[in-house]
């Protein structure tokens, strides 16, 4: 059978010819002597209309087929220039391949996103999620393509690790279930040794390992799942999310910003060109003006502002924020959105944050107060990317680790990178789900990852 994806590209070649298709029934309606089936095979956004008439051998049976059933169809393709779809199939043979019980929840009416989350095993079959996950797949491919074209090595950091890359203590511990074989102290499990004699956790970021690779391959990136034990219930945080973390050697903060801007634009472009139907669907049904917004992202230069200047702007609007800011406070989503939506009206990099609110590995600036950090803020989302130039000076790094209580003994290997040919380098992390939210206009992180892991949410 021919995939719809190919069929919609080449249907003119099949005019008046018999073809075979297969798929799932989206809707079926009939009258006395004929009926219509809207069929979708999952390879394309659009349905194919199948017309069946009383001369079909199993006409009476087909009339009783229910939504959600899988069927195969042989039929003649005919052009329908006046109709919404350019062609339809006049069935000569329809075969049931997999029946669907009439209790199938995805009947024609529109369902809320909240309800669809409760049926994560079926929601990929809806138009919305079909489009979301196709765009997610294309965006992942575009990211690999972008880095591959630039000669970056794709590095694979471990999922299970002993380190806390962000120094924020937001880790999930990894425990061997075979607790009998785990070390005990006074008959009780020693949770500092429950990974076969060691303590281990799920990675919060592959950055530190990416630095190892960057200091061997110059330009590298990671792309994989990361985990944060943050018990926060927002539309932008998940306990499991995918992150892309490039790391570049012989590079500083402005090289890092350039790379991030090039990458975001490349992915937006790729998706606009290769997912036209999906993007038009989002533009019509999810976020009005999405396509204009994304065209603007591709064609404009991203803004850049120092944290200190951003705070000055934000302080003028303190009365309208839930949390007021002053120099030294970490900026929250509401401030991030104000800067990108109201002040810049496009993506903007905020750079040079106070050292107190950023991670230990960020490079100290001359002023001894700020570090060479960068966050990319985008309208509608807030923080899309977080990154920095790294502290490559051994003495400075050791000083920061001591100040911030990061255990130097455990990170001897990280320090050695500075001892043996350490060179200036930089990198960033892009939250893949936030990028998909930005690309599709979907408002909740739970609706851009197939099986969201958020507090109280691990059923599937
Ligand atoms: O700002 P973060 O914490 O930075 C790092 O992890 C660095 N090690 C990255 C680097 O320099 N290599 O996270 C980076 C990005 C954020 O900007 C955000 O887009 C996303 O990861 N992110 C989350 N996305 C979903 N749910 C969460 N709980 C997230 N936490 C961070
Ligand atoms: Mg961050």
Span from the CA of 325 to the centroid of ligand 1 (angstroms): 22
Region 320-334: what's the mean pLDDT? 95
Is 458 strand, coil or helix? coil
For the CA of 246, the nearest atom of ligand 1: 12
> Three-class SS string for 199-266?
CCEECCCCHHHHHHHHHHHCEEEEEEEEECCCCCCCCCCCCEEEEEEEEEECCCHHHHHHHHHHHHHH
**How many Cβ atoms are within 10 Å of 121's Cβ, its own excluded?**
10
**How many Cβ atoms are within 10 Å of 174's Cβ, its own excluded?**
17
Q: pLDDT band at residue 180, thresholds of 50, 70 and 90? A: low
ipTM for the predicted complex: 0.99
pLDDT at 272: 98
Region 242-255: what's the mean pLDDT? 98
Strands (DSSP E) found in 270-380: 303-306, 348-354, 370-378
For the CA of 245, the nearest atom of ligand 1: 12
CA-proximal residue: ligand 1, atom 7 (nearest): 429
Angle made by CA atoms 11, 15, 16, in degrees to the nearest 5? 140
Span from the CA of 91 to the centroid of ligand 2 (angstroms): 56
For the CA of 387, the nearest atom of ligand 1: 11
Q: Please enumerate in sequence order all residues whose Cβ is within 8 A of that of 167, keeping only pairs 6 or more positions apart, or say none.
A: 359, 360, 404, 406
CA–CA dist 168, 11 (Å, integer) = 56
For the CA of 207, the nearest atom of ligand 1: 12
CA–CA dist 34, 396 (Å, integer) = 79
Q: Please enumerate in sequence order all residues whose Cβ is within 8 A of that of 373, keeping only pairs 6 or more positions apart, or say none.
A: 307, 351, 352, 353, 358, 362, 386, 387, 388
Of 8, 15, 4, 10, the C-alpha closest to 78 is 15
**b/e burial code for range 237-266 (CB count within 10 A of at least 16 → b):** bbbbbbbbbbbbbebebeebbebbbebbbb
Among all ligands shown, which has an atom nearest to the Cα of 357? 2
**Run of H or E including 272:** helix 253-274
Indicate the top mutation candidate among 139, 391, 429, 452 to test ligand 1's pocket, ranked by most ligand atoms within 8 A of CB.
Answer: 429
Region 399-403: what's the mean pLDDT? 96
Q: What is the pLDDT of residues 347-369, one digit of tens each?
A: 999 999 999 999 999 999 999 99
Q: pLDDT band at residue 118, thresholds of 50, 70 and 90? A: very high
Span from the CA of 431 to the centroid of ligand 1 (angstroms): 6
Task: Give the strand pairing for 201-202 and 219-227.
Answer: unpaired
What is the residue whose two structure tokens read 């905020």?
A: 350
pLDDT at 220: 98
Paired with 27 in beta bridges are 38
CA dist list (Å): 380 to 141, 226, 346, 436, 440: 24, 23, 10, 12, 11
Mean pLDDT across the chain:
95
Region 152-158: what's the mean pLDDT? 98
Residue ranges around ligand 1 (CB below 6 Å): 165-166, 205, 207, 228, 230, 237-238, 241, 243, 245, 383-388, 427-429, 431, 433-434
pLDDT for 225 beyond 80: yes
Indicate the top mutation candidate among 243, 245, 337, 380 to test ligand 1's pocket, ranked by most ligand atoms within 8 A of CB.
Answer: 243
For the CA of 388, the nearest atom of ligand 1: 11
CA-proximal residue: ligand 1, atom 22 (nearest): 431
Q: pLDDT band at residue 450, thresholds of 50, 70 and 90? A: very high
Q: Please enumerate in sequence order all residues whose Cβ is within 8 A of that of 180, keeping only pairs 6 or more positions apart, or say none.
A: none
pLDDT at 406: 93
pLDDT for 189 beyond 80: no
Among all ligands shown, which has an atom nearest to the Cα of 210? 1
CA-proximal residue: ligand 1, atom 17 (nearest): 385
Span from the CA of 244 to the centroid of ligand 1 (angstroms): 9
Q: Is 196 left (phi over 0), alpha (psi -120 to 50) or beta?
A: left
Claim: this prediction has a pTM higher than 0.90: yes
Q: What is the pLDDT of residues 274-290, one digit of tens each?
A: 999 999 999 999 999 99
CB-based contact 222:245 (threshold 8 Å) = yes
CA-proximal residue: ligand 1, atom 20 (nearest): 431
> Three-class SS string for 419-446?
HCCCCCEEEEEEEHHHHHHHHHCCCCHH
Span from the CA of 332 to the centroid of ligand 1 (angstroms): 14
DSSP state of 409: G
Region 240-245: what's the mean pLDDT? 98
Region 386-392: what's the mean pLDDT? 98
Which is more confident, 203 or 84?
203
CA–CA dist 373, 427 (Å, integer) = 10
Is 447 strand, coil or helix? helix
CA-proximal residue: ligand 1, atom 29 (nearest): 237
Span from the CA of 387 to the centroid of ligand 2 (angstroms): 7
Is 53 strand, coil or helix? strand
Span from the CA of 320 to the centroid of ligand 1 (angstroms): 27
CA atoms within 13 A on the CB side of 406: 21
For the CA of 384, the nearest atom of ligand 1: 19
pLDDT at 181: 65
pLDDT at 196: 85
Which is more confident, 266 or 169?
266
Indicate the top mutation candidate among 374, 386, 427 to test ligand 1's pocket, ranked by most ligand atoms within 8 A of CB.
Answer: 386
Angle made by CA atoms 141, 142, 148, in degrees to the nearest 5? 90
Region 323-334: what's the mean pLDDT? 95
């Amino acid at each position: 059978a021919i995939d719809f994806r190919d069929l919609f590209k080449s249907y003119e070649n099949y005019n008046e010819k018999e073809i075979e298709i297969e798929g799932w029934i989206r809707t079926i309606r009939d009258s006395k002597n004929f009926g219509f089936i809207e069929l979708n095979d999952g390879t394309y956004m659009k349905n194919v209309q199948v017309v069946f008439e009383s001369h079909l051998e199993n006409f009476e049976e087909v009339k009783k087929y229910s939504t959600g059933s899988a069927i195969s169809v042989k039929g003649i393709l005919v052009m329908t220039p006046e109709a919404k779809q350019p062609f339809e199939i006049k069935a000569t043979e329809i075969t049931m391949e997999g029946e669907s019980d009439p209790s199938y929840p995805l009947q024609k009416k529109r369902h809320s996103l909240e309800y669809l989350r409760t049926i994560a095993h079926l929601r990929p079959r809806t138009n919305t999620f079909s489009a979301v996950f196709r765009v997610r797949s294309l965006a992942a491919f575009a990211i690999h393509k972008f880095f591959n074209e630039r000669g970056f090595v794709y590095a694979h950091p471990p999922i299970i690790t002993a380190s806390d890359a962000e120094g924020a203590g937001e880790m999930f511990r990894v425990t061997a279930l075979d607790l009998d074989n785990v070390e005990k102290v006074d008959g009780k499990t020693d949770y500092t040794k429950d990974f076969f004699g060691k303590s281990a956790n799920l990675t919060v970021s592959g950055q530190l390992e990416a630095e190892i690779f960057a200091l061997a391959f110059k330009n590298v990136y990671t792309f994989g799942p990361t985990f944060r034990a943050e018990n926060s219930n927002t539309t932008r945080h998940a306990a499991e999310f995918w992150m892309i973390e490039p790391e570049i050697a012989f590079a500083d903060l402005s090289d890092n910003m350039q790379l991030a801007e090039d990458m975001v634009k490349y992915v937006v472009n790729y998706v606009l060109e290769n997912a036209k139907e999906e993007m038009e669907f989002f533009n019509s049904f999810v976020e009005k003006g999405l396509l204009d917004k994304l065209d603007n992202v591709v064609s404009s230069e991203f803004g850049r502002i120092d944290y200190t200047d951003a705070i000055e702007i934000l302080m003028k609007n303190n009365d309208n924020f839930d949390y007021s800011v002053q120099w030294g406070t970490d900026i929250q989503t509401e401030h991030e959105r104000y800067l990108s939506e109201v002040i810049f009206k496009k993506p903007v990099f905020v750079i040079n944050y106070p050292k107190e609110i950023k991670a230990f590995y960020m490079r100290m600036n001359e002023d001894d107060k700020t570090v060479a950090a960068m966050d990319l803020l985008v309208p509608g989302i807030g923080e899309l990317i977080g990154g920095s130039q790294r502290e490559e000076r051994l003495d400075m790094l050791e000083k920061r680790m001591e100040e911030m209580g990061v255990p130097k003994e455990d990170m001897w290997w990280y320090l050695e990178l500075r001892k043996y040919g350490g060179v200036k380098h930089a990198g960033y992390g892009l939250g893949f789900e936030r990028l998909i939210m930005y690309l599709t206009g979907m408002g909740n992180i739970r609706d851009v990852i197939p099986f969201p892991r958020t507090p109280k949410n691990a059923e599937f």
